[in-house]
A = this chain, B = another copy of it.
Amino acid sequence: MNTYEYPESRRLFERACHVIPGGIYGHFNAVPLSRAEAFPLYAARAEGARFWDVDGNEFIDYLCAYGPMILGYGHPAVDEAFRRQMQQADTVSLASPKMIELAEMLVDRVAIADWAFFAKNGADVTSYAVTIARAATGRNKIIAIKGGYHGTHPWMQPPGHHGIRLDDHAHYIRIPWNDYDALERVVAEQGDDIAGFIASPYHHPVFEDNALPAEGYWQQVQALLRKRGIVFIIDDVRSGFRLHRGGSNERYGFEPDLICFCKALANGYPISALVGTEALRTVTANVFHTGSYWYSAGPMAAAMATLEELDRLDAPRLFEEIGTKLNDGLLRIAQSHGYTLKITGEPSMAYYRITEDPSTILHQRWNAECTRRGAYVTPHHNWFVSTAHTDADLERTWAIADEAFAVVKNEGI
């Protein structure tokens, strides 16, 4: 199998280092990986489940832009809805009727939602949810999950990160995932000052096996939070509309007060949303939050087309089918080489780890060898599949994974 080289990516990266701190920032920065040279750095073109890097190499994409791409890049119906709206109006001095139509669509679709609010980033709405919880309760503290991610505002970054002060965390209490007893203890001790609880619908940290909710966990959590008047916030930014058409909480059978959506909402067009219950409507109207492009109508039209297309495809069922098939194949291939591939989280956005090497170097090497053969993956973040991933894509991916295992086996890691 041909392996890729990246001279143009490297040349561009050197140019980037002159004008961008670190060259590539944030979650797109693959540079710290061992064998970083096996990964491309810049994309020139994208279509369906594939992108082409600046060296002309073709990749089946298992990151899906880290979530936003859910229907395939350049989806005709979504792009057409966007273009049609852009010919009329996007960011203007007034809101667009599209905002109302999209809000109605979310209220119809999401069981707990009596209203919707739109912004640009996931963190715009996770931070807003936390502020609403404080305004609604008059309390200060927020309970979150250890290793949970809700964006890069200071309160959400791990203590010790550059520029983050201990104070930024003063009112955040981190408890382990799936640990109802820990929640109960914290609530018993500090319940009168706890404004809200925020978590992903299931636990999908980076650099760590993902974990589904234990049987009955969410129902216990919900009952306790309701009893103590603590606002129950679900961060569905990464998983929203992948696991259930009405939000991931419906898959697990529970009812939060606020749900944050973002990534897959408009198949890559920039928009995020907060939806919530009737009880929080008035307080939300009073908590001020705004941004320069939050009324842009183009991404709202794209979101409506995306949700319609997801329904047409019965997408959550399709994602589970594609993810399960991909994973079954990968497990079998790993085994045939004598490796154990541990796959955790939901099948359509699973987290992968080769258990034989706790240093993770082996896993990084296998990811690198997959990538330089045309299956774009990264080692310490969950992958994603889209509705555009075909059986032929999976078969090609299995062949790549097979050869990649053979290569790392030969290296004797």
Q: Which residue of B lies closest to A171 (CB)?
A: B167
Name the residue in A69, A99, A151 with the highest tally of chain B Cβ atoms < 10 Å from its Cβ.
A99
Q: Would you give the 0/1 interface string for A133-167, flagging 1 where the beta carbon is closer than 8 Å to chain B?
A: 11100001000000000011110010001111101
Known contacts: A103-B19, A165-B134, A292-B237. The answer to whether A44 contacts B88 by CB under 8 A is yes
Chain B contacts of A104 at CB under 8 A? 15, 18-19
Q: How far is the CB of A278 from chain B (nearest CB, A)?
A: 10
A222 sits at the interface (CB 8 A): no
Q: How far is the CB of A112 from chain B (nearest CB, A)?
A: 14
A64 sits at the interface (CB 8 A): yes
Q: Is the CB of A121 within 8 A of B91?
A: no
Q: How far is the CB of A199 from chain B (nearest CB, A)?
A: 19
Q: Is the CB of A20 within 8 A of B103?
A: yes
Known contacts: A19-B107, A134-B165, A162-B135. The answer to whether A121 contacts B124 by CB under 8 A is yes
Tally of A interface residues using CB under 8 Å? 105
Q: Is the CB of A103 within 8 A of B16?
A: yes
Known contacts: A40-B94, A63-B93, A291-B121. The answer to whether A20 contacts B88 by CB under 8 A is no
Q: How far is the CB of A100 from chain B (nearest CB, A)?
A: 5
Q: Report the bound CA distance from A84 to B69 in whole Å.
A: 19
Known contacts: A46-B89, A287-B163, A291-B121. The answer to whether A95 contacts B51 by CB under 8 A is no
Q: Report the bound CA distance from A165 to B42 in whole Å.
A: 42
The interface of chain A, by Cβ under 8 A from chain B, is 12, 15-16, 18-22, 24-28, 40-46, 51, 53-54, 61, 63-69, 73-74, 79, 86-97, 99-100, 103-104, 106-107, 114-117, 120-124, 127, 131-135, 140, 151-154, 157, 161-165, 167, 170-171, 237, 262-263, 268-270, 272, 281-296, 376
Q: How far is the CB of A32 from chain B (nearest CB, A)?
A: 11
* 12 examples of A-B residue contacts, CB within 8 angstroms: A16-B103, A20-B117, A22-B285, A25-B290, A41-B95, A61-B93, A91-B269, A122-B292, A131-B164, A135-B162, A151-B291, A161-B287
Find A120's partner among B45, B63, B270 (CB 8 Å cutoff). Answer: B270
Q: Is the CB of A282 within 8 A of B21?
A: yes
Q: Is the CB of B122 within 8 A of A291?
A: yes
Chain B contacts of A19 at CB under 8 A? 100, 103-104, 106-107, 114-116
Q: Report the bound CA distance from A232 to B163 in whole Å.
A: 16
